[in-house]
Every structure is written in C-alpha cells, then in structure tokens.
Amino acid sequence: MKNNIGIFRGSEKGFGFVKLEESDEEIYISKENTMNSLNGDRVLIEILNVKNDLHREGKIKKVLKRERDTIVGTFTKNNNFGFVVPDDRKFGTDIFISKKNFGKARNNSKVLVKILKYPEKNKNAEGKVIEVIGNVNEAGVDMLSLIKEYKLPYTFPEPVVKEAQIVSKIDKKDIPNRLDLRNEQIFTIDGEDAKDLDDAVCVRKLKNGNYYLGVHIADVSYYVAENSKLDKEARLRGTSIYMMDRVIPMLPRELSNGICSLNVGEDRLTISVIMEIDKKGRVVSSEVKKSIINVTKRMSYNEVYAILENDEKSVEENKEYVNHFKLMAELANILKERRDKSGSLNLDIPESKIILNKNGIAVDVKKYELNFANEIIEQFMLIANETIAEKFYWLHAPFIYRVHEVPDIDKIKELNKFLYNFGYKIKIVNEKVYPTEFAKVLKDVKGKQEEMIVSNLILRTLKVARYESENKGHFGIASKYYCHFTSPIRRYPDLFIHRIISKYLENNYKVDKLEKYYDQATKYAQTSSEREKVAQKVERDSEDIKKAEYMSTKIGEEYEGIISGVTQFGIFVQLENTVEGLVRFENLGNEYFLYDDERKQLIGERSNKIYKMGDKMKIKVISADKETRRIDFAYCE
C-alpha cells in the first residue's frame, strides 16, 4: 500500500475528502471509511479500487495528528450528563460531558471544551468545559465564540504592549538622514471608519507632461525591530483580522492607531516610492527613499468622489485641494487603462456591508458601494507594489512576492462548459491561456444579469494567490512582478519587505551576508499564507453569522434573487443585498427534479422546467439560524 497522507475535511453528513499533501488531489472518503477522523485531522489513507465520476475513493487507515484539542459549541444539560454541539458542524461528533466536567455551564451556554477522549467506534468524543463564553443570545458572544474557535490571540501579552509604549516615538536624530517631505501636500484617502492609516499619496504634473506620483507608506520596521517581542507577536498573528465591529490587529494600537498611523498634521516616518509616469501609464523612473511626511488632510473615499462629481459643498470645503484630486483621477484613469489593456481582471464581486446596532446585532445588510476614489488608491497601490517588486527582483534580494499562478487548463475547460450556456468562452491556445482572455469575458458580461455569476465562476477557476519567496508573477493583475508592500501595519509580508528595503537603503544597496533572510523569506511566506487563510475564514464566518442573524428578522418576506449555484440537493439564490440562501428540493414545488451534472442545472420531470445559474427566481425566507450559519428559502410562484 502506497503511503498517502493528507488532511481530512469532513461534512455534516459524515463523509468527507482527504486532500493529498503530495498531489493536491482530493480523495472521497465514505462515512464507513472515516475511522472516526475529525475535520482537519492529518491522516494516512489507502486508495480503494472504486471508480467514482469525480474523485477516487479511499479509506482512512490511521489518524496521524489530531487538528484540535479544544472545540467551541453550545452546551445542553440533562440530569446526569450534558453534551456540546460544536459550532463547526463538520467537526464530526457531539461531545459528551460528564456531570463533574460541567464547570459553570448552563443550558444554551456557548462554551470552550477540552477534548479528553477522541471518538472510538460508536462512542462520542468526551470533554470538559474549560470556559463559559456566555449565553448564545448574549450580545457579542457570537464573535467571541469565533475568536475562541480559531484560537485567535485576542489580547497582546503585557511585555509586547510595554515594548510598543517604549518604541512609539520618533528619535529626532534620525530625521536629518531622511528625505524631508513635510512641506509637500500629501493626502490619506480611506474609509470613514479606518483607524490604521498606512498609506498617503501625492500627485503633481511635471514640466515634461509626465506625472509625479509619491506613494508614502508608514515605516513600521523603524519601530518593530527584528526578533523583538513586537516582531515575534506580529509574525505569530501574520495579519490583522476584521470582524464586523472589532479588529484583532497585528500590532498593538500604540503603533497601529498611533505613531505608525499617518495621522493628519503629525510628523510620520515613511518609506516613499517616488515614480515618474508617462501619459501611457509607464513608470519611466522611480526611486525608493526613507522619508518623513506630515499629512496635509485626511480624506474619505466618499469626500473625494463628491469632489470629482463636482458636488458644490464638497468642492467649496476643499477648494484649495480640488486640483490635486482631479489630477489623481486623471492619472488613475491612465494607469487603469494600461492595466486593462494588459489583461488585468476586473472581478466585480460585490462585498457586503453589514450594519450593527450599539448591541452588535445586525440591523441591515447591503452591497458595499465602491466609487472611483477607491479605484484611485487601488491603482496607486498596485503600481507602487509592482515597482518595488521589480526593483528588488533584479537586485536578487531576499523577498516575499505575492504570487498568483496561471489556472489549470482542465479547470478552464470545465468553466467553458458553464460559460457556453451564456454564450461566452475562454480561448485556450496550444494548452495555454492568457489573462486577456478572462478580461475579455468580464468586459462582455459587464452590466448584464449574469455578471455576478460569471465573475464568481471565474473566481472559483482561478488559483488562490499566496506569498512565496520566489517570483512567479501575478496572473490576476497580469503582472510579471508583484508584492505586498503598502500595508505593513496589518500584514507581516509587507513588514518583512520594509525591513529588507531598509537594509538596502541604509547601506546604499551594497548589502552582503543576507543568507538568513533568504531562509526567513521562504519560512515567513508560508506562515503568512497560512495565517491569511485563517483570517479569511474568520471574516467569512463572522459575515455568515450576521447575515443569518439579520435574515432571521425577515421570515416570510419575499425577494427576487439570482440563482448562484445548482447542486444535487437544491439551488442557491443570491439576493441583491449579497445574502445567499438555499432552496431545497422540497421547497421547489410539487415535482421531482433531475440534476444534470454536466450543465449544473435542474430539470423538472413533468414540466421540463429548467433551473440554471444566472436565472432570476422569486423566493420567500423560511428560516435563518446564526448557530448553523444557514439561511433557507422557498420558491415563490
């Protein structure tokens, strides 16, 4: 038997899949062959000689490493025993709690449980309540439960905070060694609620008709010394995590909201990328400098957009700066046009904006509206990131790149089967594909009913971007060189890059003895990619909880949505407000439906009615449960 090792991903129905470590292939494991494995366990499997349309089948022979020793769930008490239903419904087992291990848990308490015995044969896992988080209906308990479930470092250790307090000031003797830009008119443009402002920009027109673009990023590495307590804690966290009404920051607020944040009217240390850009959007020259700035004005995206739309009040309030923002828009349009021509993918997938009341309860869910001011900052950050990545690639510096590889051709062929229904196709030439082909489809679908569906299908076909110490280009933005340099307050790869840049700048680009940094780049790229995945899961789960909470107040209400997925067990429908729910077969009407796996559509046996992705559907909300993070719809005539 070949040793096949991978991670088991369970399902609520008991079966699961093992993603093999060596090949990334997913092996189907039936309920009878899971050997009491739990979601996330590292397992050894035997491949069975069973043919399956989509996956080979396997049997778990041994659990090599248990992923979890604690679990968060809801406690229910009987007379002499209790049990906990895990929040992670794919976990695979409820947990039996003997009376002596109740702790202070009561019915409907959210609890953290230590697993004492893992499941065996037909026996449930056994555990002990080690913390009562609160009642399931208590304000904030849902988000605290997520924090415990993912073992997030919610507070900073005292030594880390003390170190932040000591280093959170500028040493005046360092200022003369920096490019002094305190008299330049420099602006931050962010969301209204942003507290950690790590980028500021300045645009001017040069005499030769080209554009001067200064992108100034907080010099976080000045305060976070290598291998300091702050550095080790930041590395452990990897990224800031945004959960509705709270942030779990990578750095203590003394730095993230204080001395590192580019607050208006205050001297701030920065690393500046200063670029000359021609009328075609090409960077004709660039330099990277250690600098000091003093932000002229803090602006929000909405304020800048109002100025660009010639709103009288906004123009009057900012009359001395209006030309700056018009020039920014002019340059951003040039950069965007160049990027579009090269095949950069404009995946216009709406984000959710969830409004909470003062008790943290979701009272509204809507589409997060972006405007051209967001685009300005996005284009400026993209060009700064590319410029830095290319410069340090040719220096052969130890570095962390943002890598997005070419999608698998087989997956594109599968995608084309769906796109065929809408009249689109991604061209494959000699088993190769280029970003321009995806960009063409996204342009053709813009503004049409099926835009969201096609964008989502393309997103699922693309590979997941990650951090690597080797440059492999970025398919999604059609770029040969790309990195994350612009958010060192909230992302560790950016902080690492700042540290490398500083070494080169301080030594006039004559740097030796960098061996340890090459090893660090490889190691930190991997750990940062892993932490990013956790952050994305937490942020997605927190949204799902709040969407279900909001929709639980809309039971019986009717909406029109678009079919976003068709499966063997029902139809997913997405509403205009970004909420997605499931219409199960029993809620689809009084007939039997056949599932066409090839075209991913349902066909009514009697009526021949076809349901496919992109179709409009009227639905009624029939249930919504924040515990299971599920929303159920029924089809309305």
Res 637 pLDDT > 80:
no
Number of DSSP helices (H) and strands (E) in the chain, helices first: 13, 31
Region 506-522: mean pLDDT is 91
Pairing of strands 16-20, 26-29: antiparallel
pLDDT band for position 1 (cuts 50, 70, 90):
very low
Region 173-193: mean pLDDT is 94
Res 52 pLDDT > 80:
no
What confidence tens digit (pLDDT) does each residue in 11-29 have?
A: 888 889 998 887 778 889 9
- With a pLDDT cut of 70, the percent of the chain lying above it is 99
Is the pTM higher than 0.85? The answer reads yes
**CATH superfamily ID and name for 552-635:** Nucleic acid-binding proteins (2.40.50.140)
Cα dist from 531 to 143, 248, 469, 564, whole Å: 18, 13, 16, 29
Q: Strand (E) positions, 278-424?
A: 283-294, 297-300, 352-356, 362-367, 401-403
pLDDT band for position 51 (cuts 50, 70, 90):
low
**pLDDT averaged over every residue in the chain:** 92
| More confident call, 193 vs 117 | 117
Using a 10 angstrom Cβ sphere, with 0-12 exposed, 13-18 middle and 19 or more buried, the burial of residue 606 is exposed
Whether 4-65 shares its CATH topology with 70-138 is answered: yes
Region 474-485: mean pLDDT is 97
Res 121 pLDDT > 90:
no
Cα 589 from Cα 4, distance rounded (Å): 45
Region 534-557: mean pLDDT is 96
Region 330-344: mean pLDDT is 96
Chain centroid to CA 148: 20
Cα 195 from Cα 485, distance rounded (Å): 19
Domain ranges of the chain: 4-65, 70-138, 158-403+473-543, 409-462, 552-635
Cα 476 from Cα 28, distance rounded (Å): 31
CA atoms within 13 A on the CB side of 197: 30
Q: Characterise 267 by phi-psi region: left (phi > 0), alpha (psi -120 to 50), beta (else).
A: beta
Region 57-64: mean pLDDT is 91
Res 437 pLDDT > 90:
yes
Q: Which option is the CATH number for 70-138: 3.40.640.10, 3.40.50.2300, 2.40.50.700, 1.20.120.720?
A: 2.40.50.700
474-478, 598-602, 611-615, range with greatest mean pLDDT = 474-478
What confidence tens digit (pLDDT) does each residue in 410-433 have?
A: 999 988 988 887 889 999 988 899
Region 431-436: mean pLDDT is 92
Res 241 pLDDT > 80:
yes
- With a pLDDT cut of 90, the percent of the chain lying above it is 72
Q: What is the full DSSP assignment across 160-195?
A: HHHHHHHH-S--GGGGGGSEE-TTS--EEEE-TT--
Fold topology of 4-65: OB fold (Dihydrolipoamide Acetyltransferase, E2P) (2.40.50)
